[in-house]
Amino acid sequence: MDYFYAPGRNHLFVPGPVNIPEPVIRAMNRNNEDYRSPAIPALTKTLLDDVKKIFKTTVGTPFIIPTTGTGAWESALTNTLSPGDRVISFLIGQFSLLWINQQQRLRFNVDVIESEWGHGANLEIMASKLEADASHTIKAVCIVHNETATGVTNNLATVRKILDHYKHPALLVVDAVSSICALDFRMDEWGIDVALTGSQKALSLPGGLGIVCASPKALEATKTAKSVRAFFDWNEYLKFYRLGTYWPYTPSVQLLYGLRATLDLIFQEGLDNVIARHGRLAKATRLAVEAWGLKNCAQKEEWYSDTVTSVLVPHYIDSTEIVSRAWKRYNLSLGLGLNKVAGKVFRIGHLGNLNELQLLGCLAGVEMILKDVGYPMRLGSGVAAASAFLQKNMPMIPARI
């Protein structure tokens, strides 16, 4: 693909990677250090303590692994399951599809529950499978909390209620890659056994850290899990936790300092305030889409994501052209439609360290692009709808000094 230089900064509105705040960039701008010195274990201890807060767990054990979300997937699965184990997994979009593919390649017996793209997980089918599983052959339920390909969010509290209703001991394993620090997430309250996220999403860091949190039940499962694991073996980390040095392998020191800085920003704003901000920006985006006369790929309001809006385009428009033109002409990065929705949707990511004015700039750019590709709409309609909502719903904040 040809490279097109454009003046000004790139406006990054894909659903990850996201914009990195300046304080985080400055925190990472440092030389290499000896990770076996006293400084890095001391830093790591604070990070492990604070990572538990963003998962909302007091009993979980976190692992900060130099990898991506895909590696975090593998870590979650191989530490708790054995080849041949039956797992329920929901196919609702591209990223749940990729995770299912990994589960199958790791030789689990994957019981796939597929929904139409734009729909959430079919929990009724899950309930019927759990009810029929009197011998408890199902060892885990794997679910993507927030499917960014379609802008669909699943209700994890309901999944837990169903498991509890049937008194089923299956592990609840959750891909929270694009939901931690953006959506309401309660690991302890919802009885989640393994949750995982990636640094490039709402944590507003570069890619390179996979963060996994395991419940006591999940840690117990490692004692009988027979999947081959080496680099991702939690027991290696736990051994070094006990030694107080924390790292069995070389960590990304710069990313650790970045994680410290981004957690400080999140706690300064307040985690619940961060989640509320994501809700406001998402609602404003959906109002803009409605004002343009377009529809959300997510088919029901209960599934609407607060991290990404996947926008359906008319049949006579190729959404790939919208994304291409956005980048070439306006230096605006939007998300492509993937797999079954390729050419049918474009995606507006609104997660991470993002404010109202940044979002309105993105929406104005989308309006110009829609005009460029021949979509009949009134310029300013979406921006007006979004800005009116945001102005009415701005939080009360103390004046800057």
Annotated binding site for substrate: 347
C-alpha span between 374 and 77 (Å, rounded): 47
Calculated CA dihedral for residues 288, 289, 294, 298, nearest 10 degrees: -150
Q: Cβ(139)–Cβ(159) under 8 Å?
A: no
Lookup result for tokens 């850290």: 209
Give burial (CB, 10 Å; 0-12/13-18/19+) of 396: exposed
Q: β-strand 295-296 against 308-312: which pairing, if any? A: antiparallel
The amino acid occupying position 376 is P
Tell me the β-bridge partners of 334: 13
Binding residues: 347
Tokens read off for 59 = 């009993």
Calpha distance 168→326 (Å, rounded): 48
Q: Would you state the structure tokens that stand for residue 290, as one six-digit string?
A: 């409605």
Instruction: Name the residue with tokens 């701008």.
Output: 29
N residues, the chain = 401
For 60, phi then psi, to 5°, come to: -75, 155
* CA separation for the pair 314, 375 (Å, rounded): 8
Residue 68 belongs to what H/E stretch?
none
Query: What does the alpha-carbon distance between residue 114 and residue 92 come to, in Å, rounded to a whole number?
Result: 6
Instruction: List all residues 6 or more positions away from 3 whose beta carbon is below 8 Å from its beta carbon.
Output: none
Structure-block tokens of residue 379:
């310029």
Phi/psi of residue 308, nearest 5 degrees: -155, 140
